[in-house]
Amino acid sequence: MIAKPSLGSKFSIVLATARMRMLNVSRYKGQLFVEILIPIVFAAMPILLGRATGGENAEANFLRNTGTANYQGFMLIGSSTFIIVTFAFWLVGYWIRFEQETGTLEAIYLTPTSRVWNAAGIALYSAIRSLISGSVAYFLGSFIFGVNPFQGQLILALAFILVGLIPLFGMTLMFGALVMKVKEANSLVNLMQWTVSLLMGVFFTVAVFPPLMRLVALAFPPTWMVNGVRSALLGVGYFFGEWYLDLAVLWGFLLISPLLGYWVFSGMERNIRRSEGVGQY
Amino acid sequence: MASEGAVLPRRLTGAGALFSSLVAMAGKEFTIMTRYPVEFIASFGQVFALVAMFTLAGLTFAGSPGEGGNFGGVVIYGFILFMFLSDTLWTIGYNIRREQKQGTLEALYLSPASKFASLVSRVSNNLIWTSLLSLAGVWLMSALVGKLPFANPGLGLYLLAMTLSGTFGIGFAFAAITLRVKETGETLANVLQFVLLILCANFFPFSALPVGLQAISRAIPLAYAVDAFRSTLMGYPEGFPELAPIGVEIVIVTIFGLLMPLIGYWSYRAAENHERRSGGLAEY
């Protein structure tokens, strides 16, 4: 009889999964380079558009509409957070699909452990990879656009990102359940990454949305994450006025979102195993 | 030697054969597309999200409602061209790669059908779909920023056709590169796409680019295509076209549209012959 895995064994699964995926991606250096390039190019487009639109008044208009005149920093923070959110959707949401495509999903189901530890390993891998890409892009982009990357409260900004990552991964687990059901992973992930980018206000504040849409946007942890980072670094203003109140909301998400994600994912997985089989795609 | 009465394989040459091959291959691609209905809905959703994102970004720089000059026209017409360019530039190479992965590329080479039709069929359905997406994008942009400028539709259509023809050529050339560099092709495509996005200024006027980058843009025919297309549809407002007088831009775009497909197809055949000789056609 196979013994029930200990907490140490479960933790080693998380590390082994993350390590395996890191090793895999380290073979594609060009791809890693593109990941740093994406947020910089992505931020450059609204920056250049804004310069042309606002002309000499670009900074003043931007200050009036967003609360900061530093539009380069504002866009860079948005696009660097975008890469973190996108990675979470592609790597965690796409995880089951990836295993299906590489033919390893059924082998994973034969191991005497819960899939949630594999998912945690993928989340760890996604967090490491996206934090490195996002940070390098932010610092390099700051150099290119002439922004001081060390302004504001860096530690507080980092706290918003780290606390926001966990509810984000909980959300992607729910999304992974949808991918498992609908199967068309590429289309869904593409749609989701742009929809979430729009809702979290990647290049603007969510105050521009109509009330109902603003409410939907505020139900997404990335919205609080990106606004927290912008407020900590650029002083655009927290949703509830103080940093600890906004961070408390993220903590609320942190408690609910992973549990909800796990519940939805497990339920969907159980249903699919009973009806059609998870290996089918 | 063929025995008497045996039917020799009919040679699939001439315009009729080319057209029927193209229709059959595009039909096959369409059948595959219809198997993924979520893709249709998702692509509409993506266009809406992207247009809304850039529009709202542009509006945060505007001082008062209605301010911001021609930014609606600049963004949406640049975006339309970007969508068509993405189809023609990358889809051909991507599909060749997919045939390699599926193991069907060699089988295609054994059939006596036109290779040219095979390449073009990869994007023909996408072009129709992208046209619908473009209309949806224009509608959304109008809803967000008000009525968009729309002038000279005939010339705009001609410039779009010539630009697409030119980008088909780049697509063939890129498919040739994909055959040679295999998996690295995807990374190359991504890098090139980002570089062209900036240098061809799809989402902003060229005047926003630093002077050094503007000089590089002037060396890229595609940049003239973007400039001519949107300036024409916006009715040549003050400061547009930005890179050269419109007459000069039309000539450049026409030459690009006529020459590039020939150069691109020639390079594809050269790469294909090289891979067939070296036995690397099915390797990936």
Residue B9 covered by a domain:
no
Nearest-CA neighbor of A84 among A171, A205, A174?
A: A171
* A67 vs B contacts (CB less than 8 Å): none
pTM score over 0.90: no
**Percent of chain B surpassing pLDDT 90:** 25
CA distance A152 to B90: 41
What tens digit of pLDDT does each residue of B242-259 get?
999 999 999 999 999 999
Residue A65 covered by a domain:
yes
With H, G, I as helix, E, B as strand and everything else as coil, classify residue B247: helix
Residue B204 covered by a domain:
yes
Read off the pLDDT of each residue in B107-126 and give the average, rounded to a whole number.
80
Residue B71 covered by a domain:
yes
Q: Inform me whether the pLDDT recorded for B1 exceeds 60.
A: no
Q: What is the DSSP string of B1-16?
A: -PPTTPPPPPP--HHH
What tens digit of pLDDT does each residue of B259-277 get?
999 999 999 889 888 888 8
Residue B7 covered by a domain:
no
Residue B235 covered by a domain:
yes
| Lowest-confidence segment of A28-37, A192-201, B148-157, B208-217 by average pLDDT | A28-37
Q: What is the DSSP string of chain A?
A: -PPPPPHHHHHHHHHHHHHHHHHHHTT-HHHHHHHHHHHHHHHHHHHHHHHHHHGGGHHHHHHHHHS-S-HHHHHHHHHHHHHHHHHIIIIIITHHHHHHHHT-HHHHHHSSS-HHHHHHHHHHHHHHHHHHHHHHHHHHHHHHHT--TT-S-HHHHHHHHHHHHHHHHHHHHHHHHHHHHH--HHHHHHHHHHHHHHHTTSSS-GGGS-HHHHHHHHTSHHHHHHHHHHHHHH----TTSSHHHHHHHHHHHHHHHHHHHHHHHHHHHHHHHHHT-TT--
pLDDT of residue A76: 95
Residue A111 covered by a domain:
yes
Quote the number of domains for chain A: 1
Q: Inform me whether the pLDDT recorded for A61 exceeds 70.
A: yes
Report the chain A residue with the minimal C-alpha distance to residue B36. Answer: A184
Residue A4 covered by a domain:
no
pLDDT of residue B6: 57
Q: Inform me whether the pLDDT recorded for A74 exceeds 70.
A: yes
Q: Which residues of B lie inside 8 Å of A (Cβ-Cβ)? A: 36, 38-39, 41-43, 45-46, 49-50, 52-54, 56-63, 68-69, 71, 74-75, 184, 187-188, 190-191, 194, 197-198, 201, 203-205, 207-209
* Record: contact B46-A191, CB cut-off 8 A: yes
Range of the domain at B147: 17-278
Q: Which residue has the higher pLDDT, B117 or B155?
A: B155
pLDDT of residue A250: 95
* A190 vs B contacts (CB less than 8 Å): 42, 46
* B53 vs A contacts (CB less than 8 Å): 194, 197-198, 202-203
What tens digit of pLDDT does each residue of A97-146 get?
788 777 787 788 788 877 888 888 999 999 999 999 999 999 999 999 99
ipTM: 0.86
CA distance B50 to B56: 10
* Record: contact A187-B62, CB cut-off 8 A: no
* Record: contact A184-B38, CB cut-off 8 A: yes
Smallest CA–CA distance, residue B9 to chain A, in Å, is 39
Report the chain A residue with the minimal C-alpha distance to residue B56. Answer: A204
pLDDT of residue B2: 46
Residue A172 covered by a domain:
yes
Residue A131 covered by a domain:
yes
Cβ-based contacts under 8 A for chains A and B: 130
Q: Inform me whether the pLDDT recorded for A28 exceeds 70.
A: yes
pLDDT of residue A182: 78
A115, A155, A172, A181 from A95: Cα distances, Å: 11, 31, 10, 13
Residue A26 covered by a domain:
yes
Average confidence score pLDDT of chain B:
84
What tens digit of pLDDT does each residue of A10-26 get?
889 999 999 999 998 88
CA A199 remoteness from chain centre: 13
Range of the domain at A254: 11-275
* Record: contact B188-A182, CB cut-off 8 A: no
Q: Inform me whether the pLDDT recorded for B192 exceeds 50.
A: yes
pLDDT of residue A149: 92
Say what angle helices A71-87 and A115-145 make with each other, to 10 degrees: 160
* A28 vs B contacts (CB less than 8 Å): 187
Q: What is the DSSP letter of B241?
A: S
Q: Inform me whether the pLDDT recorded for A189 exceeds 60.
A: yes
Residue A6 covered by a domain:
no
Residue B78 covered by a domain:
yes
Residue B143 pLDDT level (bands cut at 50, 70, 90): confident
What tens digit of pLDDT does each residue of B8-27 get?
555 567 788 888 888 888 88
Q: Which residue has the higher pLDDT, A2 or A138?
A: A138
**Percent of chain B surpassing pLDDT 70:** 92
pLDDT of residue A19: 94
Please, which residues have CB within 8 angstroms of residue A127's CB and are 6 or more apart in sequence?
Answer: A165, A169
Q: Are B259 and B169 in contact (CB under 8 A)?
A: yes
Residue B8 covered by a domain:
no
Question: Among partner residues B61, B184, B191, which is closest to A50 by beta-carbon distance?
Answer: B61
Residue B247 covered by a domain:
yes
> Does A53 lie at the interface with B, CB-CB under 8 angstroms?
yes
Quote the number of domains for chain B: 1
Q: Inform me whether the pLDDT recorded for A1 exceeds 90.
A: no
Residue A92 covered by a domain:
yes
Read off the pLDDT of each residue in A67-88 and give the average, rounded to a whole number.
93
